């Protein structure tokens, strides 16, 4: 008998950060999780995005009715309807984050109705996914930066990422202090969040390479595709350029690939959807470019075990903290990797509603 989505629930939670957190170009002191529950035959699918509370309003007022009554197995049909609803609202940004939360809930619901782990529904490419520790905000003292990055390395996570791009004069010394803390073996990655101009980025690439930095994320603003290509082509040997976290649709990923902007693509399923993440993976496969997931580590675990071109998953400090607090079923890294719990259905996550109450908007 046909399944249908019988009920749609949406909630938004505002979680303050430990302290104001800056990167190269932004400053934030809170994170909003928009959470969706879809119900069918007594089974509940759960999805979420890190977005703005207005994404919850859009789901409540418009997107929810587009999936209500539909077969949750027909994810491509739901995907077309949800994307179609954004035509006049703009097919990126907050609207797409709302679509992404509903899409994640649909995938989870489908897997739970079939009593399968999500990775088994999608088809597994690997048993676990390597992670990298990610934090190192530009406001951290050298001591705090060193303790955070070294802490991950001590836990067996052999690659770590820090923020740069706020103060080009101070960044080389911050990066050198990070290298001293993590030792010569660990992989050191930097993310400028588009904070440098083209030639500044090239100059810093050489200084970072002297500290063994192997990953330079968004050296220039992500819309400057010629600039990304320039840095990628002229960066020292052994340094990869990455970008893609602001990708809301397949066309964005295609443009980065076709213009030769990245050595490694990034994609974020809380922005492009689980469906969009798989689309990005197919494009990366065609271009022979590896893929790395951005933020929301708990949500990406099963997708990263299923998508063939995935190299690793970003184990982002803020979201690790939020997901440990608000979600049940979160997996902790073992030997620098995350292994999905295959005894659980769907992505294996559920919202701790009692815990979440105090953050409700």
Which residues of this protein are in contact with Mg ion, per CB under 5 A?
A: 191
Q: How far is the CB of 136 from Mg ion (least distance, A)?
A: 11
Nearer residue to Mg ion within complex by CB, 216 or 359 = 216
Nearer residue to Mg ion within complex by CB, 247 or 340 = 247
The sign of the torsion formed by the CA atoms of 88, 93, 78, 15 equals negative
Q: How far is the CB of 94 from Mg ion (least distance, A)?
A: 19
DSSP-derived secondary structure letter, 117:
B
Q: How far is the CB of 227 from Mg ion (least distance, A)?
A: 16
Contact 140, 113 (CB under 8 A): no
Q: What own/partner pairs with CB < 8 Å and gap ≥ 24 does 281-290 have?
A: 281/307, 281/308, 281/309, 281/310, 283/250, 283/253, 283/254, 283/257, 284/253, 284/257, 284/309, 285/309, 287/257, 289/257, 289/262, 289/263, 289/264, 289/265, 290/263, 290/264, 290/265
Nearest residue to Mg ion by CB is: 191
Strand partners, 190: 162, 216
> What's the CA gap between 109 and 43, in Å, rounded?
7
> What's the CA gap between 119 and 141, in Å, rounded?
40
Nearer residue to Mg ion within complex by CB, 127 or 255 = 255
Q: How far is the CB of 127 from Mg ion (least distance, A)?
A: 27
Nearer residue to Mg ion within complex by CB, 193 or 249 = 193
Q: How far is the CB of 193 from Mg ion (least distance, A)?
A: 6
Q: How far is the CB of 35 from Mg ion (least distance, A)?
A: 23
Q: How far is the CB of 219 from Mg ion (least distance, A)?
A: 11
- Closest to 208 (Cα-Cα) out of 173, 242, 183, 180: 173
Nearer residue to Mg ion within complex by CB, 223 or 334 = 223
> What's the CA gap between 96 and 100, in Å, rounded?
6
Alpha helices (H) along 211-296 = 225-234, 250-258, 269-287
Nearer residue to Mg ion within complex by CB, 108 or 191 = 191
Nearer residue to Mg ion within complex by CB, 112 or 163 = 163
């Amino acid at each position: 008998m046909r399944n249908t989505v019988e009920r749609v629930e949406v909630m938004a939670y505002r979680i303050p950060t430990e302290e104001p957190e800056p990167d190269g170009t932004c400053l934030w002191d809170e994170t909003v999780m928009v959470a969706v529950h879809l119900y069918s035959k007594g089974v509940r699918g759960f999805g979420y995005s890190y977005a703005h509370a207005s994404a919850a309003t859009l789901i409540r007022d418009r997107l929810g009715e587009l999936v209500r009554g539909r077969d949750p197995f027909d994810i491509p049909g739901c995907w077309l309807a949800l994307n179609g609803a954004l035509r006049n609202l703009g097919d990126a940004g907050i609207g797409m984050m709302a679509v992404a939360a509903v899409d994640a809930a649909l995938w989870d619901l489908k897997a739970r109705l079939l009593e399968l782990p999500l990775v088994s529904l999608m088809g597994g490419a690997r048993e676990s996914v390597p992670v990298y520790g990610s934090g190192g905000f530009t406001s951290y003292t050298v001591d705090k930066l060193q303790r955070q990055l070294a802490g991950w390395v001590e836990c067996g996570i052999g690659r770590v990422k820090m923020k740069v791009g706020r103060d080009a004069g101070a960044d080389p010394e911050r990066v050198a202090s990070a290298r001293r803390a993590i030792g010569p073996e660990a992989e050191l990655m930097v993310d400028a969040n588009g904070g440098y101009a083209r030639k500044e980025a090239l100059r810093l690439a050489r200084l970072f390479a002297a500290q063994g930095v192997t990953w330079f994320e968004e050296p220039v603003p992500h819309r400057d595709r010629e600039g990304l290509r320039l840095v990628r082509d002229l960066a020292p040997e052994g340094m990869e350029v990455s970008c893609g976290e602001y990708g809301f649709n397949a066309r964005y990923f295609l443009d980065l690939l076709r213009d030769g902007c990245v050595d490694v693509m990034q994609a974020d399923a809380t922005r492009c959807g689980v469906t969009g993440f798989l689309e990005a993976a197919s494009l990366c496969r065609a271009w022979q470019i590896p893929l790395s997931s951005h933020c929301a580590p708990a949500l990406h675990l099963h997708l990263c075990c299923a998508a063939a071109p995935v190299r690793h998953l970003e184990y982002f400090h803020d979201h690790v903290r939020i997901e440990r607090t608000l979600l049940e079923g979160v997996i902790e890294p073992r030997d620098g990797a995350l292994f999905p719990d295959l005894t659980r259905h769907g992505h294996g996550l559920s919202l701790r509603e009692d815990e979440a109450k105090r953050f409700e908007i």
